[in-house]
Amino acid sequence: MGRWEPNARGRLANAALALYSERGFEQTTVAEIAKRAGLTERTFFRHYADKREVLFAGSSQLEEALVQAVAAVPRSAAPIDAVAVGLDTVAGFFTDRRDFARQRQAVIMANAELQERELIKLASMSAALADTLRRRGVAEPAASLTAEAGVSVFKVGFERWIGTAEEREMSQFLRESLDELKAALTGHQP
Amino acid sequence: MGRWEPNARGRLANAALALYSERGFEQTTVAEIAKRAGLTERTFFRHYADKREVLFAGSSQLEEALVQAVAAVPRSAAPIDAVAVGLDTVAGFFTDRRDFARQRQAVIMANAELQERELIKLASMSAALADTLRRRGVAEPAASLTAEAGVSVFKVGFERWIGTAEEREMSQFLRESLDELKAALTGHQP
């Protein structure tokens, strides 16, 4: 390891996102990211495998946190309620990160390859969640369908959260989206 | 146009799928597909842009049929009931096609690039469905959430249909999956 760089990982992520926004993802090099962050390329590669990973490293942490939170809910809870606890937990990751999340989303939407990667991450989250529910004793197809519902709520709630000027927390948007999904499927008002 | 070839499109699709199953998607050439079908490469390219399109041409037709069916349901129907009608319609596409669907799925699952393409097609189906619901006057986030639910039911129901030895039609699996999703979200038995 080289000398210690205070918050090198966060500085690299911010520098990368700023450059992707300014010039586009394709046009940005790792050398430029390191320079903007005031660090070396070597330091970059100690933290990220490549420039795409800067955008998706958080997704893996998110999936892990979601799965762990759902697994920790008492088994007496209904599967969808366990998923709701998981969504509440992951919403905490986004506190004070709305500008970052917005900028990241804009970069992803501008690049077909990154959009595909995002879809893969969401599919992976759904599969991991279904697996966690099955290990809680939930049968198929309920496990897969509940997991899909959880990821849909995450996706739609997230998009509403970054799309609004309101100051409410992401957890509120996720809870509202879950209530709206229940209402849409049952025909009752949320 | 060259001379008329009876059911050239279907013969090419069957030949392609057989070769993808035997040798893998990557290892199969358009020349080999045409030869297996007893047709020319020129005929292949009159029907398909490339060898990947053989697997995904049906997805576009499916999306169009789904959207048209949902749009045609009287506005008095609840959004999820309009989506259920759409799912019933697309299930009709799969009548007597289970072996083909199974083989196609195995080819896709064996190739990361094809899996990505499949995820993009499902995301496109969800977006088109949400758009159709909005044009029916459904507000957000209900439109996006109901569309996501419809695509989840399609995905999970389809996987159960190709995974079973039962002789029941795909429409029954889709209806059951929708009932299971409703039950999972509300905590009531289906």
What pLDDT score does A188 carry? Answer: 67
Predicted confidence band at B164 (pLDDT cuts at 50, 70, 90)? Answer: confident
If residue B148 lies in a helix (H) or strand (E), which one and from where to where? Answer: helix B142-163
What pLDDT score does B186 carry? Answer: 87
* ipTM associated with this complex: 0.90
What pLDDT score does A1 carry? Answer: 45
Q: What is the pLDDT along chain A (190 residues), one digit of tens a residue?
A: 455 677 999 999 999 999 999 999 999 999 999 999 999 999 999 999 999 999 998 898 999 999 999 999 999 999 999 999 999 999 999 988 899 999 999 999 999 999 999 999 999 999 999 999 999 999 999 999 999 999 999 999 999 999 988 888 999 999 999 999 999 998 766 5
Residue B181: list chain A partners with CB under 8 A. Answer: 145-146, 149, 185
Residue A160: list chain B partners with CB under 8 A. Answer: 140-141
pTM metric for this prediction: 0.91
Name the nearest CA neighbour of A182 among B142, B144, B110, B46.
B142
What pLDDT score does B116 carry? Answer: 92
Do the beta carbons of residue B64 and residue B90 sit within 8 Å?
Answer: no
Residue of B nearest to A126 (CA): B152
Helix (H, G, I), strand (E, B) or coil at B139: coil
Domains assigned to chain A: 8-47 (1.10.10.60), 55-186 (1.10.357.10)
Q: What is the rounded CA–CA span in Å between residue B140 and residue B66?
A: 20
Q: pLDDT digits over B70-92, tens only?
A: 999 999 999 999 999 999 999 99
B183 touches chain A (CB under 8 A): yes
Count CB-CB contacts under 10 A for residue A43.
20
Is A183–B142 a contact, with Cβ atoms under 8 angstroms apart? yes
Is B141–A152 a contact, with Cβ atoms under 8 angstroms apart? no
B86 touches chain A (CB under 8 A): no
- First CA to last CA distance, chain B: 54
What pLDDT score does B95 carry? Answer: 87
Q: What is the rounded CA–CA span in Å between residue B54 and residue A179?
A: 40
Report the sign of the C-alpha dihedral through residues A154, A157, A163, A167, in that order.
negative
What pLDDT score does A186 carry? Answer: 87
Name the nearest CA neighbour of A173 among B57, B167, B144, B97.
B144
The stretches of A24-141 forming alpha helices (DSSP H) are: 30-37, 41-47, 53-72, 79-91, 98-109, 112-135
B145 pLDDT exceeds 50? yes
How does DSSP classify residue A48? Answer: -
Is A186–B187 a contact, with Cβ atoms under 8 angstroms apart? no
What pLDDT score does B85 carry? Answer: 97
Contacts for B176 with CB less than 8 Å, ≥ 6 apart:
A141, B157, B190
For the record, the structure tokens of A186 come out as: 């049952």
User: CB pairs below 8 Å between A and B: how many?
Assistant: 94
B96 pLDDT exceeds 90? no
Q: What angle do CA A120, A123, A126 make, to 5 degrees?
A: 155
> CA-CA distances (angstroms) from residue B149 to A6, A181, B134, B182?
45, 8, 15, 10
> CA-CA distances (angstroms) from residue B165 to B98, B161, B168, B171?
10, 8, 9, 15
B97–chain A nearest CA distance, Å: 22
For the record, the structure tokens of B68 come out as: 């048209």
B2 pLDDT exceeds 60? no
If residue A18 lies in a helix (H) or strand (E), which one and from where to where? Answer: helix A8-23
Tally: H helices and E strands in chain B? 9, 0
Predicted confidence band at B108 (pLDDT cuts at 50, 70, 90)? Answer: very high
For the record, the structure tokens of B107 come out as: 């080819």
> CA-CA distances (angstroms) from residue B34 to A180, B11, B31?
50, 9, 5
B135 pLDDT exceeds 60? yes
